[in-house]
Amino acid sequence: MDTTKREAETVARLEKNFSGKFGEGGDIRVYFAPGRVNLIGEHTDYNGGASLPVALDVGTYFVVRERPDRTLRFFSENFPDEGIIEGSLDDLTWSKEASWTNYPKGVMWAFEKDGHGIPHGFDILVWGNIPNGSGLSSSASVEVGTGIMLKDMTGADVDLEEIARIGQYAENNFNGVNCGILDQMAIAMGAPGQALYLRTAPFAYEHVPLDLGDARIVVASSNKKRGLGDSKYNERRAECEEALGELQQETSISSLGDLSNEEFAAHEQAIASPVRRRRARHAVSENQRTLEACSALRDGDLGKFGELMNASHVSLRDDYEVTGPELDTLVESAWEQPGVIGARMTGAGFGGCTVNIVREQDIPAFIENVGSKYLDTIGYAADFFTVNTGEGPRRLK
Ligand code: GLA
């Protein structure tokens, strides 16, 4: 079935379910925001460096109708047991009971704080086809999707970059996760067949055509619970900030992304602790690898691109220490498979998933072999998804 037909069927099904939950009639609108996977440039976004994510053709659908009052009613087809969760525009505060609706509510809160009024409440039905727990940023997808919905429903003058910032602000200050802007930008700026070159200081972005030839992107989910992930993430951020402060004693840099590998080597002794030195080395070298990976992509040198992905994993494993046995097993066994152009962990780490560029004909054997190696070594199964790049967030109806 072609994509347009499948999408039309999905929209029709969700509209019907919406009417079943919230009643018929009125101006019902449908929106979509993709998920994302980062090809290279990990833990660089909060260090002023570069990353290279792609938006996917899976994501989150929103069916929405304005209400005459200020009530919010949410239903997720992914969490049907939670039923309709109610809230109000007059009480946009985080609560445990609000469950997943803390994501859209956080964006509404941040949207208003950014100066855009929301005059009426909404009934909202959500459905996401990002595989559960796959690490493909379902929360940022919900955030950016809520942002474009609010823009369209309220007529606010806000562009996609601002919507990404609002999403990040909500995640940081409403949901308490200290993330950078990578995920929200990757989703907001998504375009089929394109990767997004994103640099955070100075802030800049541009699309880079992604021509993988006869290869495709395979995501492997470790199915490891993140556990301490968020606190470790904040710990890495703090380590990098401290290392930056030490380097600033003898350089005039404003972020770790300002340094070349050679400049870093010349000044690394300014960082007192060996651990912080390794953290900073990763931030610097990963930024350089990402710049090289962009050039390799532009030159059509996929072999080089893959080598840089592999080197990224080694740096995340040894210098940044955010991989762990699950991600290392997935990646190191991927490297041994025929047809693998590059493999690395992607996202925050500490569990989550890996991204692999694999020749199409070799994908079945890749999944079979990496899957059984993982099961033998770790004791539970990984999940594999072959993914496609896709369009950015938009109104479907
Ligand atoms: C998470 C964060 C991003 C980024 C990555 C690591 O996905 O949300 O902002 O820092 O980790 O590259």
CB 135 within 8 A of CB 352: yes
- CA distances in angstroms from 309 to 50, 110, 189, 312, 372, listed in the order given: 14, 35, 22, 5, 23
d(CA 114, CA 111): 5
DSSP class of residue 83 equals -
| CA 279 to ligand 1 center in whole angstroms | 15
**Residue among 148, 123, 150, 105 nearest 64 (CA):** 123
The residue nearest atom 9 of ligand 1, judged by CA position, is 180
Q: What angle do CA 223, 229, 232 make, to 5 degrees?
A: 150
In the Cβ-directed half-sphere of 266, how many Cα atoms lie within 13 Å?
7
| CA 186 to ligand 1 center in whole angstroms | 11
Q: Which residues contact 258 (CB under 8 A, 6 or more apart)?
A: 48, 201
| CA 371 to ligand 1 center in whole angstroms | 26
d(CA 18, CA 123): 9
Tell which atom from ligand 1 comes closest to the C-alpha of 137: 7
Q: What is the pLDDT of residue 214?
A: 97
DSSP class of residue 116 equals -
Q: Which residues contact ligand 1 via a Cβ below 6 A?
A: 42-43, 45-46, 179-180, 182-183, 347-348
**Residue among 212, 347, 259, 292 nearest 49 (CA):** 259
Tell which atom from ligand 1 comes closest to the C-alpha of 43: 12
Q: What is the pLDDT along the chain (397 residues), one digit of tens a residue?
A: 677 899 999 999 999 999 999 999 999 999 999 999 999 999 999 999 999 999 999 999 999 999 999 999 999 999 999 999 999 999 999 999 999 999 999 999 999 999 999 999 999 999 999 987 778 999 999 999 999 999 999 999 999 999 999 999 999 999 998 999 999 999 999 999 999 999 999 999 999 999 999 999 999 999 997 665 678 999 999 999 999 999 999 999 999 999 999 999 999 999 999 999 999 999 999 999 999 999 999 999 999 999 999 999 999 999 999 999 999 999 999 999 999 999 999 999 999 999 999 999 999 999 999 999 999 999 999 999 999 999 999 999 9
Q: Which of 43, 175, 199, 327 to mutate to test the pocket of ligand 1 (most atoms within 8 A of CB)?
A: 43
Sign of CA dihedral 242, 244, 245, 246: positive
Q: What is the pLDDT of residue 97?
A: 97
| CA 284 to ligand 1 center in whole angstroms | 16
In the Cβ-directed half-sphere of 47, how many Cα atoms lie within 13 Å?
33
- CA distances in angstroms from 371 to 219, 338, 367, listed in the order given: 12, 15, 5
d(CA 208, CA 325): 33
Count the neighbouring beta carbons within 10 Å of the beta carbon of residue 2.
7
| CA 183 to ligand 1 center in whole angstroms | 7
Count the neighbouring beta carbons within 10 Å of the beta carbon of residue 365.
13
Name the CA radius of gyration of the chain, rounded: 21
Q: Which of 138, 143, 182 to mutate to test the pocket of ligand 1 (most atoms within 8 A of CB)?
A: 182
Tell which atom from ligand 1 comes closest to the C-alpha of 46: 10
d(CA 133, CA 353): 9
* Chain mean position to CA 158: 21
d(CA 222, CA 347): 12
| CA 233 to ligand 1 center in whole angstroms | 9
Q: Which of 54, 175, 183, 346 to mutate to test the pocket of ligand 1 (most atoms within 8 A of CB)?
A: 183
Q: Which residues contact 53 (CB under 8 A, 6 or more apart)?
A: 36, 37, 38, 39, 41, 182, 183, 185, 186, 195, 196, 198
Active site (catalytic) residues: 183
Q: What is the pLDDT of residue 1?
A: 64
Q: What angle do CA 378, 382, 387 make, to 5 degrees?
A: 150
The two tokens of residue 303 are: 């072999």
Tell which atom from ligand 1 comes closest to the C-alpha of 177: 8
Q: Sheet of 50-51: strands edge to edge?
A: 50-51, 194-200, 203-209
Tell which atom from ligand 1 comes closest to the C-alpha of 140: 8
The residue nearest atom 11 of ligand 1, judged by CA position, is 348
The two tokens of residue 1 are: 């079935």
For helices 138-154 and 102-113, angle between their N-to-C axes, nearest 10 degrees: 50
